[in-house]
Structure 1
Amino acid sequence: MKPRILAVIIAVGLAGIFVFAEDASKLPQPTGPYGIGRIACDWTDTSRLDTLSPDPTRHRELMVYLWYPTNRPSIEPHGTYLPGAKKIDADPQLGPSMREGYGPTWPQILSGALYSHVVENAPAAKAPKQFPVVIFSHGLGGNGFGYTALFEFLASRGYVVAAIEHPGTADVVVFPDGRLVPITHDTPPPGLTPAQQMQRMMDSVGKGIENGAADERFVLDRLIKENNGSAKEFVLAGRLDLTNVALMGHSAGADFAARACELDARFKSCIALDGAMVPVSALPEFPDHAKIQQPLLYLENHYDEAHMFGTHEQHLAFFKEKEQELSQCPKGSYHVVLSPPGMMHGSFSDTYILHAGNMSEQTAQAVHNLGLVETYILAFLDKNLKGTPAPLLDDPNASHPEATIERLGK
């Protein structure tokens, strides 16, 4: 496969470097007709060993959090933003790292001042009979909870979101038995030449993408099993429309989603959020030459060349490669570039809302930018999973002025 430079350089989560305000912001109130429930699932794929685990005999184990529609409660729920945060904070290695990464937001998370709008283990809404499903993968060094506003937005509009916490890729995963699994750092042995270091990185990132894609396919397998089981064991049993499943990921997670869609036709559509691998390619490329089989929403921030990794010559080759890759996407695919002020890689998550603190102008801009992301995601999902028209994507007169849309496929 080709080098996956951006998956290392730009695939960052909440543990990046930010200018912090003194007070954490409140997440936007979900505006859909439903309330939001959440359940935690600890699932083990007994068909795979965990290549990212220090124990070579351990099978791949995932935490998956399902966000789903409920009847709207009469008062605003104050759910936990990041389950297990106090356990992480007490760890002598991970606690300081998280405090540094999250800044003043971390005490707000620990105290509950920053909260989600979920009700844990709540009964699902009685109608409709079944809900379409979105399986989500976070970026490198982040976690699923960093996309809480997006998940709440989708759940309040009738979608179930299955957010995977990818061990080894996430900043830290907390399991019910108290285990903390931090991100895996690949330390090369001394004495490698630059070419050998590059090859090692290529191999490592390629394996990471394959591993993430396998996680997503396993989660779909498990959702099928649980959906066919008892409601006493699984609150959403019988309520998942697994003929209408989308894969979505941000940053490195976008590459996981794209690769899984290359390999598995059960996924009906694919959403890649700011996952370009500059200066190499836009989508994963492996020796099998598999291509995405489903309609794709390739949604990204606008980057000028001055802020792109690599040389001008590499950029020219990248633009050519990207154009060719996107031109091969199936009918019903879209390339959407967002260019509002303040739009950045972290704008697809809660990042800039949380770290705006009490600065109203920055908060308003961050909420606007995430809202723009949500609007295009919802239009694409509604078209592909619910069969409703999407004038925002298909009618040039309805497009947002801060978005450029290219319709792909023949």
Structure 2
Amino acid sequence: MADIWYPAEQTSQALVPYLDTTAIKRALGERGLSSFLVDRGVALIRSGSIRTHARENAHFNRHLKRAPVIFFSHGMGMITQLYTAQIEDLASHGYIVVALSHPYDAWLVSFSDGRQIIFETKQRKAAGSTELEHIAYENQRIEWWAADIRFALDRLFAINGAKPSATTPIAGHMDLARVGAMGHSSGGRAAARACQLDPRIKSCADQDGVAMMQPFYLTADGRGMAQTFLLFERVRNVPPDENDAASLGMTLVALNMLVDSLRDSKKRALAATGGSFHVLLRFDSTSHMSFSDLPLLQAESAAKAALAVQVLQTTCRYTREFFDKTLGNSASVLYDRHQASHYIDLVEYYPKKQGEK
């Protein structure tokens, strides 16, 4: 299932609801929303006070002949709609965003023909309960997600050859020479994997998607990807202590050696690209879900809601500037490392190695 946002003409059509509560109720029962969101989020959505800026099948913006395309993949167990703020921000700046719902790994996928697939748990549990077993299972799923992205890109090439219509208003308007991929958590790792496999994708952004500190794995001969890469993550940037070691059944010396080894592997991966940006989101004022709408939906006070908005604006801006630079929407310098930000701890750049194309 793919939901596509794009720059559109103004229209008087009704706004698209933030979530299809009827479909959620049909698949998961009366308390379906409550099983996923805290009470405040449920109340806000059911009241209708959470609104999108999107309208279905609006005409493509007549001032744009073609627009670059960005694929988006949700986090494991999440749904696309909970990233609406970030997706709409990209669309409002001239991008077509193709957001994929990965069946069995999303909280709920509702197809247009009425079929519904909820999050799969039996195979996940059978795969094992240790962290390494969990990562091994997710690695298999990442391969499927990357295949989803590549299949969807194949379909876009077919659609783009058609004429725009009431059901395909983006036909002929997609600039498929400028394609990016991004995602949050496992979706970020899937975007990176798709980049490794498919040179048609020109750049990719991974938002807090790492396994054992690795956003993607190098090949046996040390190759990463030819594309420009953004790793935008939230990391507790302090050394481990005795409590951390004890919780893992390790000595502190052994844990420090492991962490150093994993950090070195991450740096090698970031260096084995067409150039990498590494951005750290401030740990104490954010969460893993700060790349989604959840902190705003679940904020228990006006102050927490304001913080969630500010952090989300920061994640939107840095990600958008990355694609502006790599997909040709802007010639401006990406990231001023001297520019202060309340929510960014670190910005590093790993240049493309000499001799690489």
SS of alignment partner, residue 299 of structure 1: strand
Pair 98,290 (structure 1): closer, same or farther in 2 beyond 3 Å = farther
Provide the C-alpha distance between the structure 2 equivalents of 1:163 and 1:263, rounded to a whole number of angstroms.
Answer: 19
CA–CA distance in 1 between the matches of 2:210 and 2:143? 17
2:157 is equivalent to residue 224 of structure 1: yes
Q: Conserved in 2, the CA contact under 8 Å of 1:391 and 1:398?
A: no
User: Is 2:192 the counterpart of 1:250?
Assistant: no
Change (3 A) 1:187 1:382: closer
Per-residue deviation, 1:382: 0.9
| TM-score, normalised with respect to structure 2 | 0.86
Say yes or no: does 1:383 pair with 2:325.
Answer: yes
The letter for the 1-side match of 2:162 is G
Amino acid in structure 2 at the alignment position of 1:137: S
CA contact (8 A) 2:160 2:170 kept: yes
Distance 1:356 1:335, change over 3 A: same
- Higher relative CO (Cα under 8 Å, sequence separation at least 6) belongs to 1
Work out whether 1:266 is the aligned partner of 2:200.
Answer: yes
Report how far residue 201 of structure 1 moved: 3.9
- In structure 1, what is the equivalent of residue 142 of structure 2? 209
Q: Output the amino acid matched with 1:129.
A: K
- Per-residue CA deviations over 1:198-254 (Å, capped at 9, x if unaligned) read 775454222101000000001111111111113125111111111101000110001
Confirm or deny that 1:134 pairs with 2:70: yes
Aligned-partner Cα distance in 1 for 2:230–2:131? 30
Partner of 2:277: 334
Secondary structure, in 3 states, of the residue corresponding to 1:315?
helix
Q: 1:189 to 1:334 in 2, by over 3 A?
A: closer
Corresponding residue of 2:17? 80
Residues of 2 paired with 1:202 and 1:402: CA distance?
Answer: 29
Describe the shift of the 1:290–1:173 C-alpha distance in structure 2 as closer, same or farther (beyond 3 A): farther
Q: How far is the alpha carbon of 1:100 from its aligned partner?
A: 2.4
Q: How many angstroms does 1:274 deviate by?
A: 0.6
1:392–1:399 contact (8 Å) kept in structure 2: no
Q: C-alpha distance in 1, partners of 2:58/2:155?
A: 21
1:282 aligns with 2:223: no
Aligned to 1:66: 4
- TM-score norm. by structure 1 comes to 0.75
Q: Secondary structure at the match of 2:36?
A: helix
Q: What is aligned with 1:19?
A: none
Q: Counterparts in 2 of 1:272-351, with a 5 A limit?
A: 272-278=206-212, 281-285=214-218, 290-305=223-238, 311-331=255-275, 333-339=276-282, 341-351=284-294
The question of 1:374 aligning with 2:312 is answered no
Contact 2:188 2:205 in 1 (8 A): yes
Q: What does the per-residue CA deviation read over 1:180-203, in whole Å, with 9 as the maximum and x for residues that have no partner?
A: 10111225559x8x8xx6775454
Q: Distance in 1 between matches of 2:144 and 2:222?
A: 18
Offset, 1:142? 0.2
Output the CA distance in 2 between the equivalents of 1:199 and 1:406. 29
State yes or no: 1:175 paired with 2:119: no
Q: Which residue of 2 aligns with 1:156?
A: 92
Deviation at 1:302, TM superposition (A): 3.3
Report the alpha carbon displacement of residue 390 of structure 1 after superposing the two structures with TM: 3.3
Tell me how far apart the structure 2 counterparts of residues 277 and 354 of structure 1 sit (CA, whole Å): 27
Q: Where do 5+ consecutive residues of structure 1 fail to align?
A: 1-62
Residue in structure 1 matched with residue 252 of structure 2 by the alignment: none
For residue 298 of structure 1, give the secondary structure of its aligned residue in structure 2: strand
Q: Per-residue deviation at 1:95? A: 4.7
Structure-2 change in CA distance of 1:187 and 1:170 (3 Å):
closer
- Separation in structure 2 between the aligned mates of residue 267 and residue 90 of structure 1, nearest angstrom: 37
Counterpart of 1:330 in structure 2: which amino acid? G
More strand by share: 1
Where 1:405 maps in the other structure, the secondary structure is strand
